[in-house]
Amino acid sequence: MSAPRQVCILGSTGSIGESTLDVVARHPERFVVRSLSCGSRWENLLQQCRRWQPRYAAVADAAAARSLRAALHADGLATEVLEGESGLEEIAADPGADTVMAAIVGAAGLAPTVAAARSGKRLLLANKESLVMAGRFFMSAVQEGGAELLPIDSEHNAIFQCLPGGYRTGDTPASVRRLLLTASGGPFRSAPLESLDAVTPEQAVAHPNWVMGRKISVDSATMMNKGLEMIEACWLFGMPVDRVEVLIHPQSVIHSMVEYVDGSVLAQLGSPDMRVPIACAMAWPERIASGAAVLDLVTAANLAFEAPDLRRFPCLRLAIQAAGEGGSVPVALNAANEIAVAAFLEGRIGYMAIPRVIASVLEGHLFGEPESLEHVKAIDAEARRVARGLLG
C-alpha cells in the first residue's frame, strides 16, 4: 500500500466534516489528518484537535482562533492555529496536504476551495456554492492547477459513479443524453400548500431521510438545494441545463441516474448516509468500508418518482431560471438565499418569505457576466446588501 493520504478538512466541525473524520478513523493506515478548520465553533475544533493532533487548525473568526490557541497551549498540544480567510486558504494550499475535503457551507467556502484547486490537490467538493457562484473560474483553477476533482454531494457522486470508466469531471460525456438528479421532496412534499406559511424552523430542519446541518436542511425543504445542485451538475459534468432534470424520489435510495443515448439508464443506490460518497471519493478508484448500513433492497422495494411541483417549491423554479440565465444571476440567487434562510432560522421571516426575498433581489439584479473572482465577491456582497435591505 502507498503512503497514507494527508487530509485537510475545511469545515471539520460540520456534518460532512464529522462524517469524513469517521471514515478516516476506520482506515488509519490510509489517511492522516493534516489540518482541520471551523468558522467559530472553536470548542468543537478543540476536541477534534485533541483526538487527531493535526499539524494545523484554521479558524475563520479571529476571536475564536485566539481562544483555540490558548486552549491548545494549555493542553500542551503543538497544533499551529491560523486565522481568517487567509488561514483557511493556507491550509487548503499546504504542500503537505494532498487531499482536501471542501465542506465549508456557503460563499465562505469559495476562496479556500479555489486555493485547493489551484494547488493541484485531490479535491473532494462538498461546497456546491463554489460552482454556483464561480463555476467558470473554479473549473479553470481545477484545470490549470491539475487538481483531481471528485464530487461529494450524494447526487453528483452518484452521477460520477454512473459515468464511463476513466471519466474526469468537467468533460462532457458524449454518450450521455440526460442527468437525472433525485430529491426526497423534504418534509413538506405532501403538506397542504396553505399550511406552508406556518412552517417553523424546527419543522423545516427535520429532514425525513438525511441528517444534515440546519441551513442545508432548510434548502432541502425548499428544494433550493436541488436547484443549486442543477447548476453544480452543469459545471461538473459539462452539461447544458436543459439536459439536467430533477425528479422527486421520496425513499432516497436511488441517489441519481444517468441516461445514455442508447436508452440505458444507470442508477446508483445506497443508504442515505453521507459516509458512502465520502468513502467513495477518498479512496477512488478503490472501494473501502464507509460504516454505512447495508441497503436492504427488500425493505426498499417500493421506489416512487414524481415531477416536482413548482408551486410548492418556488425556490427550485427561481434556481432553474437562474441556471438558464447564467452570468451573475446564480451568484445573486445564492447570496439572497443565504440571507433569507438565516433570517428564517432566526425567526425574523416566515418560511414562504424565503422565495419572495430571493425573487425581489433577482428582479432588481442588473449585473452582467462576472469578470473575475473579485467581481464575483462584489456581486455576492451587493446581493446580500439588497437582501438585508428587504428584510429591514
CATH code: domain of residue 289: 1.10.1740.10
Q: Could you say which of 95, 122, 151 is where a domain stops?
A: 151
| C-alpha cell belonging to residue 147 | 487538481
Please choose, from the candidates 215, 296, 200, 219, the residue with its C-alpha nearest in 3D space to the C-alpha of residue 251.
296
Residues 116, 209 within the same domain: no
pLDDT for residue 200: 94
Is residue 180 in some structural domain?
Answer: yes
Query: How many structural domains are present in the chain?
Result: 2
Given this model, what pLDDT does residue 374 score? 92
Last residue of a domain, one of 151, 173, 202: 151
Buried b (16+ CB within 10 A) or exposed e, 193-230: eeebeebebeebbebbbbebebbbbbbbbbbbbbbbbb
Q: Which of 106, 131, 151 delimits the end of a domain?
A: 151
In a domain, residue 136? The reply is yes
* Domain-embedded: residue 242: yes
Contacts of residue 253, defined as CB under 8 A and 6 or more positions apart, other chains included, come to 269, 270, 272, 295, 300, 303
On whether both 127 and 214 belong to a single domain, the answer is no
Would you say 7 and 24 are in contact if contact means Cβ atoms under 8 Å apart? yes
User: Is residue 156, in this structure, part of any structural domain at all?
Assistant: no
Verify that 76 and 176 share a domain, yes or no. Answer: no
Q: What are 168-180's pLDDT values in tens digits?
A: 999 999 899 999 9
On whether both 305 and 340 belong to a single domain, the answer is: yes
Instruction: Clarify whether residues 259 and 127 are in a common domain.
Output: no
Give the integer Cα–Cα distance in Å for 170 and 239.
Answer: 9
pTM, two decimals, is: 0.92
| Cell 490510509 belongs to residue | 30
Residues 132, 226 within the same domain: no
The verdict on residue 391 lying in a domain is no
In a domain, 255, yes or no: yes
Same domain? 343 vs 211? yes
- pLDDT, tens only, 161-170: 999 988 999 9
- Do 278 and 355 fall into the same domain? yes
Same-domain check for residues 166 and 58: no
Question: Are 234 and 353 in a shared domain?
Answer: yes
Q: Which residue has the cell 459516509?
A: 275
Q: So what's the pLDDT on residue 212? A: 72
Residue listed under C-alpha cell 433492497: 297
Query: Is 43 a domain residue?
Result: yes
Domain containing 59: what range? 5-151
Q: What residue ranges of the chain have pLDDT lower than 50? A: none
Looking at residue 1, its pLDDT comes to 64
Same domain membership, residue 181 and residue 35:
no
Q: Are residues 93 and 125 in the same domain?
A: yes
